[in-house]
A = this chain, B = another copy of it.
Amino acid sequence: NNDFKIAVLPGDGIGPEVVQESVKILNVISEVFQYKFQFKYGLIGAEAIFQTGNPLPDDTLELCKKSDAVLFGAIGDPSFDNNPDAKVRPEQGLLKLRKELGLFANIRPLKTYPSLIEKSPLKQEIIEGTDIQIFRELVSGIYFGEKFTEENEAYAYDVCRYSREDIIPIVHMAFQEAQKRRKKVTLIDKANVLDTSRLWRKICREIAQEYPEVELDFMFVDNAAMQLILNPKQFDVIVTENMFGDIISDEASVIGGSIGLLPSASIGESNALFEPIHGSYPQAKGKGIANPVASILSVAMMLDHLKLEQAANKLRESVEHAIENKYVTIDLNSKQPYSTAEVGDFIADYI
C-alpha cells in the first residue's frame, strides 16, 4: 500500500506555518519515492473554538480516526491563558484527541547536534553525545482522573489513577526500544510516596523478566530532574507516567540547545499523531521566523511509523545537511537567519 491518508491539524500560533513546510516536504517525498499522500485539513484548538465553539469538532475527530496518521501543529492561545474563567480551552481539544484516539505512548527522541552544542545552556562536556528516548504515558494518570472543585471553591481535587492495562503496553514499548539501543530502561517515579508509582515499579519488574538483556533502573522524579542536568548521558530509554513525563521531557528538551528541533510521536493501537515539541509560540506567529525542523522531523517519525524507512532516513539526512550548512532559522543563527519557508525549501530541494 503506497497510498496514505494524512489528517493535517495546523492548530494555533506558529502551528500552521511549520505544518505548511511539513506538507511541502511530504509532497516532495511523494514525488521522489512514488508514495501518495492524501491531505485532509481539520480544525483544533483556539482556532476551532473561534470558528465553532468546540476545541475538537466532531469532523476533526472523525477525520483523524480515518487517517493513517495525524500531522499536528501546535495548540494554545494567550487569550485563554489570561482568562481564568474560560470554560472551553484549546488544550481540551488536544487532550480529548489523545484520549479518543487512544494515543497511549508519547515518544520523544533527544539527540544533540555537534554544530549546535554551543547553543545549549549546559556545558559542552556534559551534553555531548546525549541520546535519550523518552516514553511518556499519555492517556491516563492525573490528566484523565476524576477532577472536582467544590462549588464555593473551598477545596478541589484531582485523582491520579493507573490500572495494569494502562501501564503494560507502554512499558513493553520502552523495553523493545531499549533492545535496539543501549539496553537500559529507567523508570522515573515517586515510589517512596505514591501508590501508583509502586504499581508502575511492580509492573516494570515483571515485564523486565521478558527482556533479560535489558537493564531496568528506577529513579525518583526529583532526583531525575537533577540527573538530567548533571549527567544526561547516563540515560538511554526513559519510561514514565503522564505528569512526570510532561515535566521531565520538557526539561530534557532544552538541554540539546534548541527545542525548535525536537519532534514527537504519539502512538496508539490504531492511530498515531506527530507533532513538534515546541508549543504555539504566539509571539512569533505569522512572522515567518519559526523553526520548521521539529515539525519536519515529526514527519520523519511519521514515515518510520508508516514503514517508509527509506524516505524517513533520507529526510533525516536532509535535515542534518541543512543544520550542518547553517541553513537554519533565527533561533539557531541570529546573524544570518533564513525564514521558515526558506529552510523548508532547502530541505525539500536536497531530497
Contacts of A164 in B (CB 8 A): 153-155
Q: Bound state CA distance, A200 and B165, in angstroms?
A: 32
**Is A147 in contact with B194, judged by CB distance below 8 angstroms?**
yes
Is A142 an interface residue, CB under 8 A from the partner? yes
Q: Is the CB of B157 within 8 A of A205?
A: no
The verdict on A156 contacting chain B, using a C-beta distance below 8 Å, is yes
A143 lies within 8 A of B193 (CB): yes
Residues of B within 8 A of A255 (CB): 229
CB neighbours of A149 from chain B (8 A): 195, 198-199
Report if A202-B153 is in contact (Cβ < 8 Å); known contacts: A122-B122, A143-B193, A254-B226. yes
CB distance from A135 to the nearest CB of B (A): 16
Cβ of A248 within 8 Å of any chain B Cβ, yes or no, is yes
Contacts of A161 in B (CB 8 A): 155-157
A window 151-189: CB within 8 A of B = 153-164
B226 near A153 with CB under 8 A, answer: no
The answer to whether B201 touches A84, judged by C-beta atoms less than 8 angstroms apart, is yes
Identify which of residues 27-47 in chain A touch chain B, using a CB-to-CB cut-off of 8 Å. none
A95 interfacial by beta-carbon distance below 8 Å? yes
In Å, the complex CA distance between A250 and B196 comes to 21
Instruction: Mark out the residues of chain A between 206 and 251 whose CB falls within 8 Å of any chain B CB in the assembled complex.
Output: 218, 221-223, 225-226, 229-230, 243-244, 246-251
User: Which residues of B sit under 8 angstroms from A218, Cβ to Cβ?
Assistant: 81
Q: How far is the CA of A198 from the CA of B85 in the complex (A)?
A: 10
Cβ-defined contact, A159 with B157, below 8 A: yes
User: In the assembly, how many copies of this chain are there?
Assistant: 2
- CB contacts (< 8 Å) of A230 on chain B: these are 121, 254
Contacts A121-B122, A122-B121, A147-B195; A159 near B156 (Cβ below 8 A) = no
- Give chain A's interface residue range (CB within 8 Å of chain B): 35 or more
Q: How far apart are the CA atoms of A280 and B198 in the complex, in Å?
A: 21
A:263-320 near B, CB below 8 Å:
none
Closest Cβ of chain B: how far from A247's Cβ, in Å?
5
Q: What is the chain B residue whose CB lies nearest that of A254?
A: B226
Check B195 against A148 for contact (C-beta < 8 Å). yes
CB distance from A232 to the nearest CB of B (A): 9
A-B contact pairs, 19 of them (CB 8 A): A84-B201, A122-B123, A145-B157, A147-B194, A147-B195, A149-B198, A154-B163, A156-B161, A156-B195, A156-B198, A157-B162, A158-B160, A158-B194, A158-B195, A158-B196, A222-B246, A222-B247, A225-B250, A226-B259
- Give 13 new A-B contacts, CB below 8 A, not counting A142-B193, A153-B202, A229-B254: A84-B191, A123-B123, A155-B161, A156-B195, A157-B196, A158-B159, A158-B194, A160-B160, A222-B249, A222-B250, A229-B251, A229-B255, A251-B251
